[in-house]
């Protein structure tokens, strides 16, 4: 339910209310990075709803959020640029060994 309703609706809020002023954009992105990161921290450490595997940690989740939110806005305005930047990010994430049997 979170994946199909929660994340898409929050992304629509993020994009729909994205400010025009540069410093406000930084605050807006920071707010969403903080929100997503703190919610994951609570789900990980207090509610035990998720677990990290294959070398993933909260630090990587925060880094992911820092990359994801500006990339979402870039995709909203310039999709081809965002796709190119996403390829670089995907190559970086390949350092986390995910066994093929987990993908089946």
Give the angle 76-70-84 at the CA atoms, nearest 5°. Answer: 70
What is the reported pLDDT for 15? 96
Determine what percent of the chain is predicted with pLDDT higher than 90: 72
The model's pLDDT over 79-93, given as tens digits with 9 standing for 90+, comes to 999 999 998 888 887
Q: Which two tokens stand for residue 20?
A: 């025009």
- DSSP per residue, 46-90: TS------TT--HHHHHHHHHHHHHHHHHHHH-HHHHHHHHHHHH
pTM of the model: 0.84
- Given a cut of 80, whether residue 96 has pLDDT beyond it is no
Taking alpha carbons only, the member of 93, 57, 58, 86 closest to residue 72 is 86
């Amino acid at each position: 339910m979170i994946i199909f309703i929660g994340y898409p609706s929050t992304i629509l809020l993020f994009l729909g209310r994205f400010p025009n002023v540069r410093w406000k954009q930084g605050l807006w992105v920071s707010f969403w990075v903080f929100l997503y990161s703190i919610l994951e921290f609570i789900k990980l450490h207090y509610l035990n709803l998720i677990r990290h595997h294959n070398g993933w940690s909260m630090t990587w989740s925060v880094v992911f959020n820092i990359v994801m939110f500006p990339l979402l806005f870039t995709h909203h305005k310039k999709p081809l640029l965002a796709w190119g930047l996403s390829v670089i990010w995907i190559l970086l994430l390949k350092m986390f060994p995910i066994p093929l049997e987990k993908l089946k």
